[in-house]
Amino acid sequence: MNSSHPPSRIAFIGGGNMARSLIGGLVRAGVSGTHFAVAEPHVDLRNALVHDFGVIACADGASAAKDADAIVFAVKPQVMKSVCVELRDVAQARRPLIVSIAAGIHIDQIDAWLGGDLAIVRAMPNTPALIGAGACGLVANARVDTGQRALAQGILDAAGVVAWVDDEALMDTVTALSGSGPAYFFLLVEALEDAAVAQGLPRETARLLAAQTCLGAGRMLREESAAPAELRRRVTSPNGTTQAAIESFEASGLRQIIARAVTAATLRGQELSAQLGD
């Protein structure tokens, strides 16, 4: 959140891993835990949040949200409708910014369940947010003003990087790219590890080298201005080992495999959204 303004009061509905990652990032950034109220039905999770971050913990959503400038819905998509309906009166009376990280639930669905005419941001974070290295796509409806947009970004910035999209339909692609993307990365490392072991390298060594290689390559992508194709070119000496591997990837249709996979994930996201809404 913008440090030049007094911190907003933020209610988290749901105190699971993603809420913990966002609260923890904000606290590390210097925001007092007393600015956060968390609704969590499980007493052990409530107690842990109070102990770790000094938040105000509540057993129900209405108590957490009654004074909030923003309400972050961090619950499973399957219970999103019932949770919203329970908070309809509070949302209409308080009219806070609504931030949803429930996968597949559309802004217009959330707005209808909460009674309508609210400022809503839909977010799609991913699991590396749990270690402060997440990637999150955001989209806002027309009622979100500049200050609320900054507030939403500040909340999600706490767990990594954020990127805004203008068309909510593209959130299914964001889900396919960065939401599901960590699993693609883990699959790649798994395959690299297995291939190296098949060549005789000890598994522990193969895993260490594969993981660190991918970590280093990712940092280069983030910290240098060059495009991925340029960075790849720099590593690929003519007629060398890297060129042999790249040619094998290309001959096997790696680009087409990835394109089909992202398309499949995007379409599945659209199907799940349709199933969850009414």
The CATH H-level (homologous superfamily) assignment of domain 10-171 is: NAD(P)-binding Rossmann-like Domain (3.40.50.720)
Residue type, 108: D
Task: Report pTM.
Answer: 0.89
What are the domain boundaries of the chain?
A: 10-171, 181-273
The pLDDT tens digits of the residues spanning 126-157 come to: 999 989 999 999 999 999 999 999 999 999 99
- pLDDT tens profile 236-267: 999 999 999 999 999 999 999 999 999 999 99
Q: In whole angstroms, give the CA distance from residue 69 to residue 99.
A: 11
Query: Which tokens is 76 given?
Result: 């499973």
Query: Which residues in 114-220 belong to E strands, given as ranges?
Result: 120-124, 134-140, 160-164
Place of tokens 């690299």: 192
CATH number 3.20.20.240 is the correct assignment for the domain at 181-273:
no
Question: Chain-centre distance of CA 104, in angstroms?
Answer: 13
Which residues are CB-neighbours of 42 under 8 A, at least 6 positions away?
15
